[in-house]
């Protein structure tokens, strides 16, 4: 088996001279933790999304957690979400003492099936967390309709979807609140980091307190030349604030985000064109009422076993991945709630066949063609 001469990683962040210079300025400034750059990043991200408020945090996981905690969602209550997501979406529900109630997904978008989510509402349900999988927005009109009827808190898991639109509205303002990820693999990055956007000022203010132990003042308000050392501990909060080092990186990445997303869309279109001729895959969709941002390019492998496909692609010098192992099949949730195969058949069918191909701006057209060339070689060996 002859491998590609040049290894193609699954993801590579686009970091340039501007990002390096911005981080260096913060390091030289002497102010490294939450401070003026974080506040600037919050404001510019708020304006980009069109939200009333934005709160910078250490991760998207923290944003999801803080949002639920700030709404006092807890023990004896339920939160509806999808099993076809990363662990954090459900883990944060566990962290506040509530129970994640899984619903199966749509056959085409792999997003939560809003009709099934509607049926899952009980007298214990307090919130719903729709996940915009791979950068394709959920059917938010359907989600909001039953959530409004039942007085539920709608928290968008927008980890994959910074810059996406649903019916010409930005992801991040489609529910009551939204959580974004700036992890190293995302469409824009701060290395680690996240943002909570919301409409409610009281929710935003409580989130700011909860992100730093429940203190009434952050470091800037205590240690800036106009600040005061005194603070009140208002409640038992957490430690998940963003630093100015991260925010400096985020400010430059945010300016480049539209360019990043345009290039991802161009490369995704090229994948679809080339793989359409190859055959053997179910390709990702984009509904007419959305503008997806192609965080992932997930395909369903039809011509061979998915795990073997990923292994053979690796041998060809191409790193693929799998998004995701359904949470109800993971040992923690299966043991705690008695889940088993067959409980969410669509998520299981997708998981058994799904593979994510490399997709990032610096991959370029040549990189896409190399990936497809490797696929062709793998496929020929199956003929």
> Which whole-number Å values give the CA distances from 15 to 23, 48, 187, in the listed order?
11, 21, 12
Task: Enumerate the β-bridge partners of residue 297.
Answer: 357
Rounded Cα distance, 267 and 248, in Å: 28
Burial 2-39 (b: 16+ CB within 10 A, else e): eebeeebebbebbbeeebeebbeebeeeebebbbebbe
262 Cβ contact list (under 8 Å, min separation 6): none
Is 186 tagged catalytic? yes
Q: How many CB atoms lie within 10 A of CB 257?
A: 18
Rounded Cα distance, 40 and 26, in Å: 13
Rounded Cα distance, 377 and 32, in Å: 49
| Catalytic annotation, pick one of 71, 118, 186, 208 | 186
Task: Enumerate the β-bridge partners of residue 178.
Answer: 156, 197
Please, are residues 67 and 177 in contact by the beta-carbon 8 Å criterion?
yes
- Signed CA dihedral, 127, 60, 250, 10: sign only: negative
The single residue listed with the structure tokens 């469409």 is 187
The DSSP annotation for 231-280 comes to --B-S---B-BPPHHHHHHHHHHHHHHHHHHHHHHHHHHHHHHHHHHH-S
Could you tell me whether strands 281-282 and 194-198 are parallel, antiparallel, or unpaired per DSSP bridges? unpaired
Nearest to 128 by CA among 140, 137, 136: 140
Strand (E) or helix (H) holding 291: strand 290-291
3-state secondary structure of 343: coil
> Which whole-number Å values give the CA distances from 111 to 101, 141, 158, 331, in the listed order?
15, 14, 12, 23
Q: Annotated catalytic sites, by residue?
A: 186
């Amino acid at each position: 088996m002859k491998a590609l001469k040049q290894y193609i990683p699954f993801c590579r962040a686009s970091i340039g001279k501007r990002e390096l210079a911005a981080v260096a300025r913060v390091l030289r400034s002497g102010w490294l933790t939450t401070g003026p750059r974080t506040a600037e990043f919050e404001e510019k991200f708020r304006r980009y999304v069109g939200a009333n408020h934005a709160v910078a945090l250490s991760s998207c996981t923290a944003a999801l957690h803080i949002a639920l905690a700030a709404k006092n969602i807890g023990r004896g209550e339920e939160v509806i979400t999808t099993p076809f997501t990363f662990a954090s979406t459900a883990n944060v529900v566990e962290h506040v003492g509530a129970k994640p109630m899984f619903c199966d997904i749509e056959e085409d978008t792999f997003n939560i099936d809003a009709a099934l989510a509607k049926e899952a509402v009980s007298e214990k349900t307090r919130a719903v967390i729709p996940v915009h999988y791979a950068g394709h927005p959920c059917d938010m009109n359907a989600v909001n309709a039953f959530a409004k009827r039942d007085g539920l808190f709608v928290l968008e898991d927008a980890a994959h979807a910074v810059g996406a639109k649903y019916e010409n509205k930005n992801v991040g303002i489609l529910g009551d609140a939204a959580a974004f990820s700036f992890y190293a693999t995302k469409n824009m990055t701060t290395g680690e980091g996240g943002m909570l956007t919301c409409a409610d000022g009281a929710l935003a203010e409580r989130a700011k307190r909860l992100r730093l132990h429940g203190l009434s003042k952050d470091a800037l308000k205590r240690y800036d030349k106009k600040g005061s050392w005194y603070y009140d501990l208002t409640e038992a909060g957490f430690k998940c604030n963003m630093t100015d080092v991260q925010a400096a990186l985020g400010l430059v990445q945010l300016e480049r985000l539209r360019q990043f997303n345009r290039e991802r869309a161009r490369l995704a279109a090229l994948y679809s064109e080339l793989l359409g001729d190859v055959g053997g895959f179910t390709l990702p969709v984009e509904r007419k009422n959305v503008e997806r941002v192609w965080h992932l390019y997930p395909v369903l492998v039809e011509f061979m076993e998915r795990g073997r496909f990923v292994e053979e692609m690796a041998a060809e010098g191409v790193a693929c991945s799998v998004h995701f192992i359904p949470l109800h099949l993971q040992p923690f949730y299966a043991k705690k709630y008695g889940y088993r195969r067959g409980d969410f058949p669509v998520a299981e069918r997708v998981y058994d066949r799904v593979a994510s191909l490399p997709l990032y701006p610096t991959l370029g057209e040549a990189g896409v063609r190399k990936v497809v060339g490797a696929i062709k070689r793998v496929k020929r060996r199956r003929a």
